[in-house]
Amino acid sequence: MDKNSKIYVAGHRGLVGSALKRRLESKGYSNLILRTHKELDLANQQEVNEFFEREKPEYVFLAAAKVGGILANNTYPAEFIYENLMIEANIIHASYRYGVKKLLFLGSSCIYPKLAPQPLKEEYLLTGPLEETNEAYAIAKIAGIRLCKHYNQQYGTNFISVMPTNLYGPNDNFDLETSHVMPALIRKFYEAKINNEPEVIVWGTGKPLREFMHVNDMADACVYLMENYDYSEIGEFVNIGVGEDVTISELVELIREIVGFEGKIKYDTSKPDGTPRKLMDVSRLNKLGWKAKISLKEGIRETYEWYILLRSQPK
- Distance CA(256)–CA(115), nearest Å, equals 30
Within 13 Å of residue 163, how many CA atoms lie on the same side as its CB?
Answer: 32
Task: With residue 22 as reference, give the H or E element that holds it.
Answer: helix 15-26
Task: Assess whether 137 carries a catalytic annotation.
Answer: yes
Is 306 annotated for ligand binding?
no
Tell whether residue 203 is among the known ligand binding residues.
yes
Angle in degrees, CA 258, 292, 160, rounded to 5: 130
Beta bridge partners, 267, equal 202
Annotated ligand binding at 245? The verdict is no
DSSP category for residue 38: T
214 has binding-site annotation: no
Q: Are strands 59-62 and 209-210 parallel, antiparallel or unpaired?
A: unpaired
149, 236 in Cβ contact below 8 A? yes
Non-local CB neighbours of 207 within 8 Å, separated by 6+ positions: 247, 248, 249, 273, 276
- 54 HSE (CA, 13 A, CB side): 8
User: Is 167 annotated as belonging to a binding site?
Assistant: yes
* 217 is an annotated ligand-binding site residue: no
- Annotated catalytic residue within 29, 96, 112, 137: 137
User: According to the annotation, is 230 in a ligand binding site?
Assistant: no
Residue 299 assigned ligand-binding role: no
| 140/160 Cα distance (integer angstroms) | 16
Q: Is 141 annotated as a binding residue?
A: yes
Tell me the CA end-to-end span of the chain in Å, nearest whole number: 39
Residue 17 marked ligand-binding: yes
Q: Is 193 annotated as a binding residue?
A: no
The answer to whether the annotation marks 26 as part of a ligand binding site is no
Q: Is 108 annotated as a binding residue?
A: yes
Q: Is 243 annotated as a binding-site member?
A: no
Report CA 78 to chain centroid distance, whole Å. Answer: 20
Nearest-angstrom CA–CA distance, 274 and 132: 8
Q: Binding site for substrate, residues?
A: 188, 203, 210, 273
From the annotation, which residues make up the binding site for NADP(+)? 11-17, 106-109, 141, 164-167, 180
Residues with catalytic annotation?
Answer: 137
Known binding-site residue numbers: 11-17, 106-109, 141, 164-167, 180, 188, 203, 210, 273
